[in-house]
């Protein structure tokens, strides 16, 4: 996150604050790497309070004026990013600090969508829902958290909303039938880019996607998208331009077959590794993700993304990457940020200490719902395994609390509520089974 190109602060007081912030960041990194024990709320709050104290001092030094970005700003950003991910890890997902990392990722995604000019209504709907949730977090957390942090996040959220509105305007320039075609083209483009970055290039997969593009091309009349009456649809030129772009990309992908030039192979290898790791986490995140792990992925991606010159990467001789390389690397970066966004949004309001219990209950609930939807059980005996598991989890509580040592981890309400739901489902199934058994006995 920091590079030698970013200057040190000139002010002696800022230099002192920088030293203290670097110490906080180093402690947070050590805490993040320690896998021998779960992360406790009290550990995180100590560093959060220290961080807020340094922010107060910095505001007093700067008195509203900003001398231009220096090393201190970058270290402060790293500290807030780490603290934010720690708040997610301890289950305090609705606290203001937890919103910092998510707003950073939303802003990064919007930057990329704006730059590429390629986005679907689903992309925008998801980001809009997330911003709405963040809005609620900021409004409810004003009194409890640093005014500096609340103000910073409010400004960033407002900027994201404006960017989102501009993207929506672009979609509204298309008639409804063309919005569907446009979304289909975006989906095909992304599928081709995915096929292009697989370990083993599948020619047939890309050829099938190219055939779909040609099918869309053939649906045009004299190069225009028209309605049933033959009227040219609003946005026909924009969608035709995108179609031409997709067809050209399909030809390039089939010609290159996933081969990246030597000069950019290192970046490509790093990005495919990050993408693949995040993809695995997105499948197993309930059991294997510690949100603070996302910091390293983000740092790697930010570094590569920000190394671009005029939107493109350059080789050792300063030559820009050709179109094929540029699009391939941008796809991998954007896909990776998308996974980070998904993983942050999926963060449960439960401390990692309680996640094993919480995940077991979620699995139990899914099983019980499945049993109910498939007609229930024919005898009470069939429910014994579920009842035994529920009772064993319930017996773990001490005075109604799930304890870990002497600690009461965050997320008690969420776990207890899920346990109650499982007991209710089990009871409903038991009552239905008893009625069935009584009916059979009476007949």
Residues 416 and 420: their CA atoms lie apart, in Å, by 6
Given a contact cutoff of 8 angstroms between Cβ atoms, the answer to whether 309 and 92 are in contact is no
Q: Residue 366: what pLDDT?
A: 95
Helix (H) and strand (E) counts for the chain? Answer: 15, 2
Q: Are 329 and 267 in contact (CB under 8 A)?
A: yes
Structure tokens at 339: 């996974």
Measured between alpha carbons, how far is residue 195 from residues 113, 253, 345 in Å?
A: 21, 9, 26
Is residue 443 very low, low, confident or very high in pLDDT (cuts 50, 70, 90)?
Answer: low
Which residues, 6+ apart, have CB-to-CB distance to 322 below 8 Å? 261
CA distance linking residue 125 with residue 127, whole number of Å: 6
Torsion of CA 113, 117, 121, 125, to 10 degrees: 20
Rounded-to-integer distance, Cα 28 and Cα 83, Å: 8
Has residue 216 got a pLDDT over 60?
A: yes
Higher pLDDT pick, 266 / 65: 266
* Distance (Å, whole) CA 52 – CA 193: 43
Position 140 confidence tier, pLDDT thresholds 50, 70, 90 = confident
User: What was the pLDDT predicted at 280?
Assistant: 93
> How much is the pLDDT for 1?
40
User: What is the mean pLDDT of the segment spanning 277-304?
Assistant: 90
Q: Could you tell me if 383 and 433 are in contact, meaning their C-beta atoms sit under 8 angstroms apart? A: yes
Q: How confident is the model over 411-429, as pLDDT tens digits?
A: 999 999 999 999 999 999 9
Model confidence at 2, pLDDT cuts 50, 70, 90, reads very low
What rounded mean pLDDT belongs to the chain? 92
Specify the pLDDT at position 37. 86
Is a pLDDT exceeding 50 seen at residue 228?
yes
CATH architecture of 1-92: Up-down Bundle (1.20)
Whether the predicted pLDDT of 298 surpasses 60: yes
Q: What is the structure's pLDDT at 195?
A: 95
| Number of C-beta neighbours around residue 86 at 10 A | 27
Strands 397-398 and 401-402: antiparallel
Given a cut of 80, whether residue 407 has pLDDT beyond it is yes
Share of the chain above pLDDT 70, in %: 97
Q: Which residues does 425 contact at the CB level (< 8 Å), separation at least 6? A: 365, 368, 369, 372
| Residue 407 region by backbone torsions, left for phi larger than 0, else alpha for psi between -120 and 50, else beta | beta
Q: Are 89 and 291 in contact (CB under 8 A)?
A: yes
Q: Where are the alpha helices (DSSP H) in 141-235?
A: 147-172, 176-196, 203-218
pLDDT on residue 36: 86
Span 59-86, mean pLDDT?
A: 88
DSSP 292: G
Segment among 6-15, 138-147, 371-380 with least mean pLDDT? 138-147
- Residue 178's pLDDT is what? 94
pTM for the structure as a whole: 0.90
What's the rounded mean pLDDT across residues 234-244?
95
Name the pLDDT band for 143 (thresholds 50, 70, 90).
low
Comparing 105-119, 139-153, 323-337, 342-356, which segment has the lowest mean pLDDT?
139-153
* pLDDT for res 286: 64
Distance CA 84, CA 44 (A): 10
Q: What is the pLDDT of residue 148?
A: 85
Distance CA 113, CA 439 (A): 61
Give the pLDDT score at 3: 46
How many angstroms separate the Cα of 69 from the Cα of each of 110, 157, 293, 299, 311? 22, 21, 27, 18, 21
């Amino acid at each position: 996150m920091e590079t030698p190109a970013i200057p040190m602060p000139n002010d002696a007081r800022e230099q002192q604050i920088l030293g203290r912030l670097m110490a906080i960041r180093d402690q947070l990194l050590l805490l993040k790497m320690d896998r021998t024990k779960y992360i406790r709320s009290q550990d995180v709050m100590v560093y959060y309070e220290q961080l807020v104290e340094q922010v107060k001092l910095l505001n007093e030094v700067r008195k509203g004026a900003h001398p231009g970005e220096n090393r201190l700003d970058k270290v402060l950003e790293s500290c807030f990013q780490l603290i934010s991910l720690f708040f997610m890890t301890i289950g305090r997902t609705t606290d203001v600090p937890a919103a910092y990392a998510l707003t950073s990722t939303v802003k990064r995604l919007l930057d990329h969508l704006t730059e590429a000019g390629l986005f679907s209504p689903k992309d925008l709907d998801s980001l809009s829902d997330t911003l709405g949730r963040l809005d609620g977090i900021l409004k409810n957390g004003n009194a409890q958290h640093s005014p500096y942090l609340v103000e910073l996040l409010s400004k960033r959220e407002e900027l994201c909303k404006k960017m989102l509105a501009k993207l929506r305007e672009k979609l509204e320039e298309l008639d409804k039938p063309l919005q569907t075609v446009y979304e289909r083209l975006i989906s095909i483009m992304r599928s081709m880019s995915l096929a292009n970055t697989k370990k083993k290039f599948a020619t047939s997969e890309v050829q099938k996607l190219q055939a779909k593009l040609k099918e869309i091309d053939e649906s045009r009349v004299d190069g225009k998208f028209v309605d049933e009456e033959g009227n040219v649809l609003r946005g026909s030129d924009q969608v035709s331009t995108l179609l031409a772009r997709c067809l050209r990309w399909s030809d390039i992908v089939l010609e290159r077959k996933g081969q990246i030039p030597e000069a950019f192979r290192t970046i490509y290898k790093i990005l495919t590794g990050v993408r693949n790791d995040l993809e695995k986490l997105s499948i197993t995140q309930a059991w294997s993700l510690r949100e603070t792990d996302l910091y390293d992925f983000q740092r790697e991606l930010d570094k590569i993304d920000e190394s671009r010159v005029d939107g493109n990467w350059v080789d050792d001789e300063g030559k820009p990457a050709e179109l094929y390389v540029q699009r391939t690397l941008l796809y991998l970066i954007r896909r990776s940020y998308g996974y980070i966004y998904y993983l942050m949004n999926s963060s449960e309001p439960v401390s990692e200490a309680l996640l094993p219990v919480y995940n077991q209950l979620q699995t139990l609930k899914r099983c019980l719902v499945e049993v109910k939807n498939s007609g229930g059980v024919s005898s009470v005996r069939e429910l014994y395994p579920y009842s035994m598991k529920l009772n064993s989890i319930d017996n773990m509580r001490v005075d109604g609390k799930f304890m870990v040592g002497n600690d009461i981890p965050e997320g008690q309400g969420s776990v207890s509520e899920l346990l109650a739901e499982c007991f209710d489902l089990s009871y409903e199934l038991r009552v239905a089974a008893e009625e069935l058994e009584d009916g059979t006995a009476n007949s």
